[in-house]
Amino acid sequence: MPEKNDQEKTEKATPKRRSEARKKGQVAQSREIPSAAILISSTAVFYFWGARMVHQFTFFMRTFYQHIGEFDVQPKALGVLFWQLTESTFWLLLPLLAAIMLAGVVSNIAQVGFLIIEEPFSFKFSKLDPISGFKRLFSIRSFAELVKSLLKMAFVATVAFVMVKGQTQNMPSLMQAGVMQVLSFFGKVALRLCVYSCLAMVALSVLDYAFQRWQHEKDLRMTKQEIKEEFKQSEGDPKIKARIRSIQREMARRRMMDKVPEASVVITNPTHLAVALKFDADSMAAPKVVAKGAGHLAERIKDIAAAHHVPVVEQKPLARTLFKAVEIDAFIPAELYQAVAEVLAYVYRLREIGGRA
């Protein structure tokens, strides 16, 4: 049972998992938001720019039909005519195309930010597998997307039907109206239809984005074992890290022991602690702790000191204070100057006596 629980994806995704998923393009993104943004921008363009577009289109068609009998049907002249028609159509639709492109780009950036994905463009033979493609086409997720699209269409169609149905009572009066009044009526109806459709799409977009966020978080969830493995990869295997720390400590001890022969004195308590001090009046402002240790390490320090004729002095309180308060390669604090000075003076007197003898 514990193994089964470890394999259940119950844990939230780690930052590394989220970063890797983002690089692969696996982000919370709703397709309905760009659709709603494009519909809103198109409606705004038609509302603010529609009259001008109709005027330009009417002028263009009037000019075209007025001179249709003057056109030369030679291939070169037809090429020029085709280019003029294409250019006029482009400038006519440019505001609408620009609004659609801007809405699509901004709505996607607002959801996921600036994201450049290389993996979808990389060639993989697995993408050519028809069986895998068939499975993706008829998967549960594809079926859910189909159902969601059908419900979206039904919802928008219902909103449009209810709105148009409310205008049917005004249609009989159009039989006595002029052409411009009829066009004005249907233009207002179309505008209201677009507005209500936009509101419906906005509501669907909010719901779909919330669902996509929930689905994305669910897909990113990890098992406890995956989190352990990721921790090992990012932080390193605890056994390996312990071994590295052990090696580092051993190397630090060796460097410390190499400095013991240079010490001026070793202060002990006398069996459990040993602190090696070095002092050079010409180059140092205060004595420095070059090595210290307890237990077996203290014995090694005393043995090396004895082998290199470094004086060993027993001072229990001072040894304990130095061991606890001063780190290796650090100068002793000012409050210990007098106590250490007395020890160094004693060592210097011993050396003078030994030198005379």
Lookup: tokens for 221: 């969830």
Q: What's 13's DSSP letter?
A: P
To the nearest 10°, report the CA torsion of 225, 230, 235, 241: 50
Q: Taking 90 as the threshold, does the pLDDT of residue 275 lie above it?
A: yes
Q: What is the CA radius of gyration of the chain?
A: 43
Q: Is the dihedral of CA 239, 301, 346, 284 positive or negative?
A: negative
Is residue 276 very low, low, confident or very high in pLDDT (cuts 50, 70, 90)?
Answer: very high
- Asked if residue 192 lies in contact with residue 161, where contact means CB atoms within 8 angstroms, the answer is no
| Cα 103 from Cα 119, distance rounded (Å) | 26
Assess whether pLDDT exceeds 70 at residue 130: no
pLDDT at 271: 76
- Percentage of the residues of the chain whose pLDDT score is greater than 70: 85
Is the pLDDT reported for residue 322 higher than 70?
Answer: yes
What's residue 1's pLDDT? 41
Cα separation of 47 and 253, whole Å? Answer: 81
Interval 326-339: pLDDT, tens:
898 899 998 988 98
The residue ranges of every structural domain in the chain are 11-232, 258-356
Sequence-ordered list of residues with C-beta below 8 angstroms from that of 181, at least 6 positions apart, any chain = 174
Contact 276, 305 (CB under 8 A): yes
Phi/psi of residue 50, nearest 5 degrees? -65, -45
Whether residue 294 contacts residue 271, with contact meaning beta carbons closer than 8 Å, is answered with no
Confidence tier at 292 by pLDDT (50, 70, 90): very high
Q: What is the mean pLDDT of residues 16-38?
A: 83
Q: Which residues contact 311 (CB under 8 A, 6 or more apart)?
A: 264, 265, 266, 305, 347, 350, 351
CA distance 72 to 75: 9
Q: Find how far residue 127's CA is from the centre of its chain.
A: 27
Write out the two tokens for 39: 């519909």
* 58-95 residue pLDDT tens: 887 777 777 666 666 667 766 777 787 888 888 888 88
Who has greater pLDDT, 292 or 68? 292
pTM as predicted: 0.52
- CA 104 – CA 98 distance, rounded (Å): 10
The pLDDT of residue 181 is 77
Q: Which of 120-129, 191-200, 253-262 has the lowest mean pLDDT?
A: 120-129
Over 60: is that where the pLDDT of 102 sits?
yes
| Residue 331 parent element (H or E) | strand 330-331
**CA–CA gap between residue 213 and residue 89 (Å, rounded):** 41
- Predicted confidence at residue 138, as pLDDT, reads 65
Determine what percent of the chain is predicted with pLDDT higher than 90: 10
Q: Determine the pLDDT at residue 77.
A: 66
**Contact 292/247 with Cβ under 8 angstroms?**
no
Q: What is the pLDDT of residues 221-247, one digit of tens each?
A: 888 888 777 777 666 666 777 777 888
CATH of 258-356, one of 3.40.190.150, 3.40.1690.10, 3.80.10.10, 3.20.20.70: 3.40.1690.10
The pLDDT tens digits of the residues spanning 159-207 come to 778 877 777 777 777 777 777 777 777 778 888 888 888 888 888 888 8
- Residue 4 in this model has a pLDDT that exceeds 60: no
Is there a contact between 328 and 291 (Cβ–Cβ < 8 Å)?
yes
